[in-house]
Chain A
């Protein structure tokens, strides 16, 4: 009965979304206050019902109800509890239910908490949110019902893809989905503002926390995904330009641009039409991302669901939402009032260039990701686009972007003087020159890209702290700190990427037990290999002892795991994090002569890549807290619903 209850809640939530859309539509067009007033409670109840439906599915997974087809296909009673729980969204139907639940809850939160926006714009926003929700409810109810029964129920489920049985990955999709859905709220705000022709600072301030929140979660999701690929796949790399990675990078690029332009709109009343456009684009990118990952259309090493019918469904939704919003934008953009003016050399000017570069990079990634699909549709030829394309096309733009990032925050709003700006940039430029000199002298022969990366990281690192100079640090607003920390995070990440590609050392051997090998400054000895048993897998585990010079030895335990259900093997690299880098050990197979394959990497400062990502997200969080606190202080007294 529990599954039926969940399905019923889902139908009811869908019906309420339809009601929300119709009520809001009629209310906004007729200006009837009774209709307008009814929309908020409907949005809240819809959120509650969607939540009930999702909790029901979690319950079915945790209790391993094998009479539900989805549970039988993705769960097993032998799985650790964490993965029964996380298995709820480790599959197509469950993840789509989570998507729509987060969407509904976000809509409910807007209905409950948003007080500063004018009523009609807010109701139009909630209608837009309901319209998005309806499409996804329809998708779930007609094309991927998570509550479908399986008769007869099997005695045991098929388990979860072992590669997904990892604490990091259990919480990776929710993070990204929360980010995607946060952008849907920004999109709804943009549609609402276009409908009521009310594009201005109030709308930008209402939208900004959602954009910031979405951006923080996308940043965290991408960082975590990169680290997961690094330690779980055993390739020792951290970014592959895989389409699934691009699917999360593209919304991030758009959200980053939107974040900067919405600030111009909120504080300076500039870039009105552009900001609305970006909000549409950012959500479009999360839809494209969902489409790419969920349609199974890609040549990806991790596109999970392969079902063309669903792909067609999402593609249709994509066309309706993006097409509809772009049409609305086209009709209404003429009525958006002129923003305030600014000089080319100014904070706004640098943010415009930042936006253009981010958009250009987004375009390059989008083209590279979709080109194979289009080419196949047009010529029938199957091909794929790889890292060489992305690096050579996006790399130069990224470097210019980073230079702008150093200059922008120390420029004044509205108009600035080029000479004065360059004077303020003297410090960072001097430091960059010193780093350039030092690297060329101390590490001759490193590639041009790592060299540029290190130099730029030093320059940006110093420039990003510059806005704090001469300020009273204790009275500096939190959102300034946020910007400083986020920009510093980019510098830290860049330093990590450059160091990793310039200084990594690798050793690959087949060795007998007891033999010593060298990698970078370490000597490494394989002491033992033993079979062991895990909760739902068996494994062979190596005991590897490493020491640096005459330092204290430490032990690592790389594993190769064998999962019976479904039959899969995974490599668990053993990674030791040291102050100046990571030692990364993978054990392979044995051969007839009793030798074991051993792959060793010494990766200096590689952790800076993800530390930087975390810093960027933390900067976003500081900014969000600062903004929200400021808004609350200025908020009108709370009304009752």
Chain B
């Protein structure tokens, strides 16, 4: 079934269109489910993230909140954006730049009791690093305070 040239171009164009529409639909549906992937504590309170979904939580480690458990590998700490706070549990080796009063991004999910269980604490490449979302949020709350 050798196709006529015109028909072939038409079929190719239709295939391309179908692929683009298909990809767009896939992308849209995935974005709808997953787009809100990064939360600050304020966002998390506001949006009620469903428990168990994989998300990132970003903010600052609250001063004096780091607590090491007796097993030697689990820590609890509090992430804050100066407006809201979220308690976090993490089992693992924290990156070197993880310390009080500095930026942190935790990957994990919220538990029914409101605690965030992190499976990964992202390492930063720079001691000045602060996630832009957090910087924006802090800026907002600071301005509100004034």
A375 to chain B, nearest CB (A): 8
Instruction: Specify which chain B residues have a CB less than 8 angstroms from the CB of A597 in the assembled complex.
Output: 72-73, 93
| B52 contacts chain A at the CB level, 8 A cutoff | no
> What are the interface flags for B12-24 relative to A under an 8 Å C-beta threshold, 1 for contact and 0 otherwise?
1001100110111
Which size bracket describes the interface of A in this complex? 35 or more
Instruction: Specify which chain B residues have a CB less than 8 angstroms from the CB of A63 in the assembled complex.
Output: none
The answer for the CA separation of A360 and B16 in the assembled complex, in Å, is: 9
Given contacts A234-B123, A343-B1, contact A385 B96 (CB under 8 A): no
User: For chain A, what secondary structure do more than half of its interface residues adopt (helix, strand, loop), or is it mixed?
Assistant: mixed
Residue A415 contacts which of B2, B54, B129, B133 (CB distance < 8 angstroms)?
Answer: B2
Contact B93 A599 (CB under 8 A): yes
Given contacts A357-B19, A567-B127, contact A389 B26 (CB under 8 A): no
Contact B72 A363 (CB under 8 A): no
| A586 contacts chain B at the CB level, 8 A cutoff | yes
| B144 contacts chain A at the CB level, 8 A cutoff | no
The answer for the CA separation of A396 and B136 in the assembled complex, in Å, is: 36
Contact B35 A385 (CB under 8 A): yes
Q: Which of B8, B38, B73 has the most CB of A within 10 A?
A: B73
Given contacts A389-B31, A597-B73, contact A384 B56 (CB under 8 A): yes
The answer for the CA separation of A64 and B106 in the assembled complex, in Å, is: 39
Contact A560 B123 (CB under 8 A): no
Contact A569 B97 (CB under 8 A): yes
Given contacts A383-B38, A388-B54, A509-B72, contact A344 B31 (CB under 8 A): no
Contact B15 A352 (CB under 8 A): yes
| B126 contacts chain A at the CB level, 8 A cutoff | yes
The answer for the CA separation of A571 and B16 in the assembled complex, in Å, is: 47
Instruction: Specify which chain A residues have a CB less than 8 angstroms from the CB of B122 in the assembled complex.
Output: 301
Which of A112-120, A364-372, A618-626 contacts the other chain? Answer: A364-372
Residues 1-60 (chain B) with a chain A CB within 8 angstroms = 1-3, 5, 8, 11-12, 15-16, 19-20, 22-24, 26-27, 29-31, 33-38, 54-56
| A143 contacts chain B at the CB level, 8 A cutoff | no
The answer for the CA separation of A397 and B30 in the assembled complex, in Å, is: 13
A261 to chain B, nearest CB (A): 12
| B71 contacts chain A at the CB level, 8 A cutoff | yes
| A163 contacts chain B at the CB level, 8 A cutoff | yes
Given contacts A383-B37, A586-B93, A599-B92, contact A367 B5 (CB under 8 A): no
| A528 contacts chain B at the CB level, 8 A cutoff | no
Contact A389 B30 (CB under 8 A): yes
Instruction: Specify which chain A residues have a CB less than 8 angstroms from the CB of B132 in the assembled complex.
Output: 299, 382
| B124 contacts chain A at the CB level, 8 A cutoff | yes
Instruction: Specify which chain A residues have a CB less than 8 angstroms from the CB of B136 in the assembled complex.
Output: 382
The answer for the CA separation of A298 and B11 in the assembled complex, in Å, is: 39
Given contacts A341-B2, A510-B72, A571-B96, contact A388 B37 (CB under 8 A): yes
> What are the interface flags for A583-617 relative to B under an 8 Å C-beta threshold, 1 for contact and 0 otherwise?
00010110101010101000000000000000000
The answer for the CA separation of A560 and B93 in the assembled complex, in Å, is: 12
| B85 contacts chain A at the CB level, 8 A cutoff | no
| B114 contacts chain A at the CB level, 8 A cutoff | no
The answer for the CA separation of A514 and B60 in the assembled complex, in Å, is: 37
The answer for the CA separation of A392 and B31 in the assembled complex, in Å, is: 10
Contact A341 B34 (CB under 8 A): no
Contact B72 A371 (CB under 8 A): no
Residue A360 contacts which of B22, B38, B56 (CB distance < 8 angstroms)?
Answer: B22
The answer for the CA separation of A301 and B131 in the assembled complex, in Å, is: 9
Instruction: Specify which chain B residues have a CB less than 8 angstroms from the CB of A15 in the assembled complex.
Output: none
Residues 53-94 (chain B) with a chain A CB within 8 angstroms = 54-56, 68, 71-73, 91-94
| B125 contacts chain A at the CB level, 8 A cutoff | yes
A466 to chain B, nearest CB (A): 25
B94 to chain A, nearest CB (A): 8
B35 to chain A, nearest CB (A): 6
| B102 contacts chain A at the CB level, 8 A cutoff | no
Contact A389 B23 (CB under 8 A): no
Residues 384-426 (chain A) with a chain B CB within 8 angstroms = 384-389, 392-393, 396-397, 415
A205 to chain B, nearest CB (A): 23
| A548 contacts chain B at the CB level, 8 A cutoff | no
A-B contact pairs, 8 of them (CB 8 A): A234-B123, A360-B22, A368-B31, A382-B136, A388-B30, A389-B35, A415-B2, A568-B126
8 closest A-B pairs (Cβ-Cβ)?
A: A510-B72, A569-B96, A360-B23, A588-B93, A393-B30, A389-B34, A384-B38, A356-B19
